[in-house]
């Protein structure tokens, strides 16, 4: 248990660092922008890598690396990769309605929760 937790923590530190470095690189390459290109970039790359790793791990017997790679590195790099994996799993199971609901609820409720947090925090710290 502790060794798995340590691997997740290490992977998370690596992933979060890579996310930050990607943001810095995007800022230097594209300049300041109101559009979150760095976040979209890490979300897309992380989702792609999650897909590649899931298949590679299953075929090469590397699923024991999942806590480090999937939860740690990719989860630290972008939690959107886990969201994308869960969505595709539902679709591949033929649960398209559930996948659609999952997408709508995840995005809608997450953005709504963030907005609520902003409003409440601004009220407290204003």
Distances (CA, A) of 69 to 19, 21, 78: 14, 18, 12
For residue 105 the two structure tokens come to 């609820």
> Is 78 labelled as part of a ligand binding site?
yes
> Is 71 labelled as part of a ligand binding site?
no
> Do 76 and 15 meet the contact criterion of CB atoms below 8 Å apart?
yes
Tokens 């943001």 found at: 23
Could you list the residues known to form a binding site for Na(+), using ranges: 75, 78
Could you list the residues known to form a binding site, using ranges: 75, 78
């Amino acid at each position: 248990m502790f060794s798995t937790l340590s691997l997740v923590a290490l992977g998370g530190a690596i992933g979060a660092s890579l996310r930050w470095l990607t943001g810095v690189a995007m800022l230097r390459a594209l300049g300041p922008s109101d559009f979150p290109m760095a976040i979209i970039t890490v979300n897309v790359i992380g989702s792609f890598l999650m897909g590649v790793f899931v298949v590679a791990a299953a075929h090469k017997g590397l699923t024991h690396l999942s806590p480090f790679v999937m939860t740690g590195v990719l989860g630290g790099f972008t939690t959107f990769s886990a969201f994308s994996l869960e969505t595709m799993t539902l679709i591949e199971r033929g649960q398209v309605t559930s996948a659609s609901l999952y997408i709508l609820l995840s995005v809608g409720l997450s953005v709504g929760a963030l907005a609520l947090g902003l409003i409440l925090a601004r009220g407290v710290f204003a």
